[in-house]
Amino acid sequence: MRQTSGVEILDLRHFNSHHLRALLEHESRVWGQLMAWDYGSSAEMILRYIDSRILPGYAAVEGGRVGGYAFFVYEGNKGVVGDLYADQSLGMDGEAVERLLALHVIETLQQSPGIHRIEAQLLPHESAC
């Protein structure tokens, strides 16, 4: 666990879809506005994996509310960052939370035995929507 200015970074597997649904719905709206992309089915799949408690990653929590998350998967000798998102509308510094989540994911993957490469297909966007 890592804490900075009231935000705790916790293992994603401690949460269920109830804790993250609003955040992923917000993320889906952002993707729809910025990219005209329907992220709804991807968000539902992520929530199912979160409920199964098998998705490695982290949640950013402040005042009992999840305001950001990141997850990754292992593919052979590489770690792949699946998503990273923070909602600034909750009063968190979204960019700082995104950096903290990214740092935590990268550190975890660097310390994972057998991982020699880290990849991500994240699209940069302004999260101040």
| Structural domains in the chain, sorted by start | 2-120 (3.40.630.30)
Q: Encode pLDDT of 43-87 as tens digits.
A: 999 999 999 999 999 999 988 889 999 999 999 999 999 999 998
CB atoms within 10 A of CB 5: 10
The answer to whether residues 102 and 60 touch, using CB atoms and an 8 Å cutoff, is no
Which SS3 state, helix, strand or coil, does residue 4 take? strand
In this predicted model, what pLDDT tens digit does every residue of 9-53 receive, in sequence order?
A: 999 999 999 999 999 999 999 989 988 889 889 999 999 999 999
Report the b/e string of 58-74 with b at 16+ CB within 10 A.
bbbbbeeebbbbbbbee
